[in-house]
Structure 1
Amino acid sequence: MTAENQPNGGQAIVELLRRNGVDRVFTVPGESFLPVLDALHDAPDIALVVCRQEGGASMMAEAYAKTTGRPGVCFVTRGPGSANALAGVHVAAQDSTPLLVFVGQVPRGLQHREAWQEVDVSALFGSVVKWAADLQDVARLPECLSRAFATARSGRQGPVVLGLPEDLLFERTTPIDVGPAPVNQGYPSPQAMAQLRELLCEAQRPLAIVGGSGWNADCRAQLQAFAEAHALPVATAFRRQDRFDNQHPLYAGDAGLGMSPELAKLISEADLLIAIGTRLGDITTRHYELVDVPKPRQRLVHIHPDPQEPGRVRVPTLAICASVDGFVDAAAGLPSGPLPSEREAWVSRARSKREAWQRPTELPGQLQLGEIVAWLGERLPADAVISNGAGNYTLWVHRFYPFRAFGSQLAPTSGSMGYGLPAAIAAKLARPDRPAVCFAGDGCFQMTCQELATAVQYGANVIVIVVNNGSYGSIRMHQDKHYPGRRYGTDLVNPDMVALARAYGAGAARVEHTTQFAQAFEQALAADRPYLIELVIDPAILRP
């Protein structure tokens, strides 16, 4: 084969993406990786989504990974581009999402001289990702990309960042002869499952808390079978509500921000906690108060794909290193024993308290956000995708919307503002047949509102519900608590949201009364373009 017929570095990268099942790439283009863009031009099976800011691009790639179950892929340029992309990389790290971010780098001969826009990939991303490196040899691209895919997907999933020196992408290399990278998963031992069964048979008040990544619809069905066989109430970890049907009789609620006081009591009073996939982080355990550190009051079974996680913060009764897929496969066939005397009352208590907590509250003002969210739960199909970023408005979404199907929730456990719109766009591109509804506060929306242009360009007809209270409401709530009467820096002067959406080419409507919402939402569903609904809410209302 002549040198002219050999693939260059950019072409080799695109071929390796194809062989690892990548069908969509998100980017803000940069001259630092033009050979990759040129190779994508000749790859009709890999769609290219050009975003308006690298933070939006990395968040879309992260949400696309959650929606499809495959690693998300994002290309950004060096310096300011990579700095912007860090927002989505951090979401992927805390959400345990497989994500590959490629950073176009300065040529190898210019590195370590602070050349124009040069960035040290390892230094910038190293503390956040599973692996960060600058590639230096075009011949090693198959090795390095295979490692990147395997690292992102194996164990506790997460992000990988690779720097691509510009000159490397032009160099010729040999044809690609490797297949897809392997995924390494752990499985529970028979001895561990036997011990788990003993603990379940002895427990009067067991509770499972499920979360983390690596789930799919089959996993969830097996989890449900396991819970039903053992009369096991199930709570979901922070922003992992789609891991269990929120209308199932065994659903106990979500252990997140604004947690039900009754669920907090259930966690505290349980005599056996089974943590599946979740790290049992600070939000899920109410800043580590509900599950003591280092020795919990409850017997604790901690199942996690990272062998370093169980025992990292707390000493569990039983530690199981296994993927959620591997664990629920074993658990679904675990024989059940006779139920202890207290179990029926415990299950009934969990269900009744959760049902009471999910009833919409009535607050001052003409617009009742709880009623609107509950109405959406009845109007939308179970597989509709609900996304959000961060802010007090999320308390209504997590409390009153019933997440019924797997993949119906996209929300950052990192608490990143601006996530909702890029996530909804990614979900709509991945599953055009499903409604994709983004909730955002006025401050949250304006972090990434420019991605409305991306939605319009690619026909991602998302519905954006902006809860406008004219402030950074979450920060204002804490400010009012700690410094009463000294509000400062938390009020916002906003643009006309309806006019802004229409300027981008989206439809829009403003709703100031609860009774106006249903008609506006039906118009949004029928529209052949993205649609924004602005909800004007009393600034004094900060929680349900």
Structure 2
Amino acid sequence: MELTGAQILVECLREQGVDVVFGYPGGTILDVYDALYQTPDIRHYLVSHEQGAAHAADGYARSTGRVGVCLATSGPGCTNLTTGIATAYMDSSPLVAITCNVSSKLLGKDSFQEVDITGITRPITKWNQVVKDVSRLANVVRQAFLIARSGRQGPVLIDVTKDVTSARAPYEPLPLARHRVTELPNPLSRRLLGGIEAPEPSLADVEGLIELIRGAERPLIVCGGGVVRSRAQDELLAFARRVDAPVAITVMGGGGFAGDDPLSTGMIGMHGSQASNRAVDDCDLLVAVGCRFSDRVALKPATFASRARIAQIDIDATEVGKNVRCDHHVLGDARRVLKLVNDRLDQQDHAAWKEHVFSFATETLYEEGGDHLTPKQINETIARLLPEDTIVATDVGQHQMWAIQHFHFRHPGQLLTSGGFGAMGFGLGAAIGAQVGNPARRVLHVTGDGSFRMNCNELSTVEHYGLPVITVVYDNAVLGMVHQWQTLIYDRRYAETTLDRGPDWVRLAEAYGLSGRRVSNVAELEDALGEALSCGHGYVIDAVLDPDEMVRPMVPAGQHITSFLAV
């Protein structure tokens, strides 16, 4: 049958099983929106800003394990997507961004709202293509989804010229099993080296890892984002039990290993627990599963795990030995590699080592109570009142670290946070995408008063679609994390970090047609959470904190992993 380019695009979305997209229309993409209007089985969520569309598609992808889709028009429409695309790229989240550009004959002429979006996004996408021939469109869309979800997952962008959306061409449905990648990868992409499929693990490498484990007396496992992406939580749990080793969890690994499991030492790195960081320093074997050893984990690579042999399990060969030395590696999907290891590894026993590591887990770092609200009280109250499977989307800053330290994430996709890119304003869009993708579950948006003001306009989206997202603002009237650095490192010179200005978060929520409350103690917080859980719509809780509250512990950037500051 013969269809327009816009119709072909929509039919290709249906081929992929896409039933949800997030976007914002404009002139060049009108044909696509007209086709969507006539396709009721694909629900479109109109956001307030294209950045919100990208974050929502990302949150949908992370929480469901499916590819997220966002749409934007040319010029500022597509450039507004870039922060969200970069966030997905750094955290290996499967996303397909679809933009429309000016007509082919206007390209390169500085036409109204023209921009080279494929050039702009080449370093932050796994693959991207501009489509100027309608006969290529279906094949490009099929490749985009295949590349986004295969191997090391990541974002892909398709830019379609306006004339292609109205041109006509033959279209025939093609089963997913017959989709193939035929185009060359981006020259700047680091994510397609060696192909798009996960490499089949070498059995010799698997056996080599097993021998290292058998010879270790003080093994430590690090759970990274690769465990979450491959949904390898069951295999990692079995592996940890078999090795009988403590498990440290990176920010991106949250949910890959249950935070309240007896083998969990909590978060590792700059704001990691004493148990995790000291275990890194004392172990004789470190097995990193899907962990790229960012500068927030391996703060000083030269001394990181200096007494240990380091083994990496990773789907991406470019990550092996990139940031820290690697003594052994197994290439492959985390779930597949761990299954192969578990099938061959005999039971180990490291009781004395575990006792040593967990002796550092008893230190109290946060105030237990008092007449004012503390981060610990907020987190404990939330954990007590919200369902265990609540999805938590955070922004970036102190509140992010407090949440990851205190909440026990038990399932992949339960923690949504911008780990690699650190994008303030990520949380509300991600929460929207998660709520759309998981309508039966509660979604909590944890934010700070600095992050929230960036994309609080998406409260309009929450209200319009009746999404019961609960937002808790950790309101300390400062840019908390930067304020903390200024206190500890810059002799209290608080340059432009004091937020002595609006808005009033409760009145803002009400202006968007939602409810809200300002709370300053545990009793008020409990009442507000009760209202939020029962009201059936979005709710904003403004939780008042002291400006000088700090994230504890803290290791300065570039320092040895146990060089904790007195905070």
Larger RCO: 1 or 2 (CA < 8 Å, sep 6+)? 2
- Percent identity over the alignment? 32
Q: In 2, distance between residues paired with 1:452 and 1:188? A: 45
- Partner of residue 366 from structure 1, selected from 358, 362, 372: 372
User: Is 456-465 or 141-150 further displaced after alignment?
Assistant: 141-150
Q: Which residue of 1 aligns with 2:183?
A: none
Alignment of 1:163-312 (within 5 A): 163-180=159-176, 181=179, 184-213=197-226, 215=228, 219-288=232-301, 291=304, 297-312=307-322
Q: Could you tell me how far 1:536 is from its partner in structure 2?
A: 0.9
- Indicate if the aligned counterparts of 1:121 and 1:162 stay in contact, CA closer than 8 A: no
Residue 62 of structure 1: SS of its match in structure 2?
helix
- Partner of residue 48 from structure 1, selected from 44, 50, 69: 44
Q: Which residue of 1 aligns with 2:388?
A: 382
Q: Cα RMSD over matched residues?
A: 2.0
Q: Which residue of 1 aligns with 2:547?
A: 539
Q: In 1, distance between residues paired with 2:75 and 2:83? A: 14
The answer as to 2:91 corresponding to 1:95 is: yes
Q: Could you tell me how far 1:184 is from its partner in structure 2?
A: 2.3
- Indicate if the aligned counterparts of 2:213 and 2:219 stay in contact, CA closer than 8 A: yes
Q: In 2, distance between residues paired with 1:257 and 1:391? A: 13
Residue 124 of structure 2: SS of its match in structure 1?
coil
Q: Which residue of 1 aligns with 2:488?
A: 481
Q: In 2, distance between residues paired with 1:315 and 1:228? A: 26
AA aligned opposite 2:531: Q
Q: Which residue of 1 aligns with 2:428?
A: 421
Q: Which residue of 2 aligns with 1:333?
A: 343
Residue 214 of structure 2: SS of its match in structure 1?
helix
AA aligned opposite 2:395: G
Task: Classify 1:394/1:358 alpha carbon distance in 2 versus 1 (closer, same or farther; 3 Å).
Answer: farther
- Indicate if the aligned counterparts of 2:220 and 2:248 stay in contact, CA closer than 8 A: yes
Q: Could you tell me how far 1:507 is from its partner in structure 2?
A: 0.9
- Indicate if the aligned counterparts of 1:455 and 1:461 stay in contact, CA closer than 8 A: yes
Q: In 2, distance between residues paired with 1:148 and 1:219? A: 24
Q: In 1, distance between residues paired with 2:364 and 2:317? A: 36
Q: Could you tell me how far 1:118 is from its partner in structure 2?
A: 0.9
Q: Which residue of 1 aligns with 2:519?
A: 511
Task: Classify 1:417/1:289 alpha carbon distance in 2 versus 1 (closer, same or farther; 3 Å).
Answer: farther
Q: In 2, distance between residues paired with 1:352 and 1:378? A: 26
Report how many residues are paired: 533
Q: In 2, distance between residues paired with 1:114 and 1:524? A: 49
Alignment of 1:135-150 (within 5 A): 135-150=131-146
Q: Could you tell me how far 1:359 is from its partner in structure 2?
A: 7.5
AA aligned opposite 1:314: V
Task: Classify 1:63/1:289 alpha carbon distance in 2 versus 1 (closer, same or farther; 3 Å).
Answer: farther
Q: In 2, distance between residues paired with 1:290 and 1:402? A: 29
Alignment of 1:437-516 (within 5 A): 437-492=444-499, 493-516=501-524
User: Is 279-288 or 299-308 further displaced after alignment?
Assistant: 279-288
Q: Could you tell me how far 1:187 is from its partner in structure 2?
A: 2.7
Task: Classify 1:21/1:211 alpha carbon distance in 2 versus 1 (closer, same or farther; 3 Å).
Answer: farther
Q: In 2, distance between residues paired with 1:389 and 1:218? A: 23
- Indicate if the aligned counterparts of 2:131 and 2:161 stay in contact, CA closer than 8 A: yes
Q: Deviations over 1:152-207 (max 9, x none)?
A: 12222111112110111001111133222467222312211111111111011111
Residue 332 of structure 1: SS of its match in structure 2?
helix
Q: Could you tell me how far 1:357 is from its partner in structure 2?
A: 5.3
Q: Deviations over 1:340-369 (max 9, x none)?
A: xxx212223334534x35885337761122
AA aligned opposite 1:254: M
The answer as to 2:55 corresponding to 1:80 is: no
- Indicate if the aligned counterparts of 1:510 and 1:535 stay in contact, CA closer than 8 A: yes
TM-score normalised by L of structure 1: 0.93
Q: Which residue of 2 aligns with 1:316?
A: 326
- Indicate if the aligned counterparts of 2:22 and 2:69 stay in contact, CA closer than 8 A: yes
Residue 316 of structure 2: SS of its match in structure 1?
coil
